[in-house]
Structure 1
Amino acid sequence: MSPDDHKHPEGAEQLLRAAALRVTGPRVATLQAVRGNAHADTESVIRAVREQLPSVSHQAVYDSLAALTEAGIVRRIQPSGRVALYESRVGDNHHHLVCRSCGLVVDVACVHGTAPCMAPNDDAGFSIDEAEVIFWGLCAECRPSAA
């Protein structure tokens, strides 16, 4: 299945079934909304879902986001001091760049490849399987205005 397959209802339905999730209109529409809007906040997802399902409730979208995240189909990130964002790029050990000024979020590949890409100097007995890295700075658009 190609990445673009997830934009179509059939691809979304296959992903839900593969994750042992019941296929519902709100779940399919929520997954499509996240696929179509990288790093979307909840309100953006709700607006996109309502373009397909005008009467869908906020709670149905929240529940769908929770189920998709729990199943690993969608990833939830929450940069410090920001609202939660959702993306459909999962399982590839990538990180994020966040602009301190405008809030732009950009995916960046991990230079080390496999997870976890780094390890603490003391693992405190944990079996570590993931590291989440957020790089902060100013994007190209905001950098000139900050000078």
Structure 2
Amino acid sequence: MPENRKKVLEVKHLKQYFGVDKPEMVKAVDDISFDIYEGEVFGLVGESGSGKTTAGRSIIHLYNPTDGQIIFNGKDVSSFKSKKEKLEFTRNMQMIFQDPQASLNPRMTVEDIIAEGIDIHHLAKDKADRRQKVEELLETVGLNRDHASRYPH
């Protein structure tokens, strides 16, 4: 990777075990490492049950990792103690699940689904600003602005 690209996420030797010190201990994630750079698309691929979702949950600290280091924008995620630091982190890092049936509410428009995070974190000044942010995000991922008024099905 070119040195002029900013490293956004570093995952170093991540381990996520369940039932530690018990006979039925499960090594759901066992020593994975990778880096993600600004502007890069990253895919974590593996068989069903291989630990992809568990890795994601550990990275965003829905689970406390058994071992390893997660560095986001140069800061060790495990060092975040204050509510403000944790909120800032969750504003910038979130999981997107692959299964659209489980992820997308069929009763909500694409605009409302995309804007959920914008609304939760109060990132839009008004409805027009919200709409503009949604349309920019749609175009960023190669979708037409007209998709905003559609439903996910």
Instruction: Answer whether TM exceeds 0.5 for this pair.
Output: no
Which structure: greater strand fraction?
2
TM-score normalised by L of structure 2:
0.27
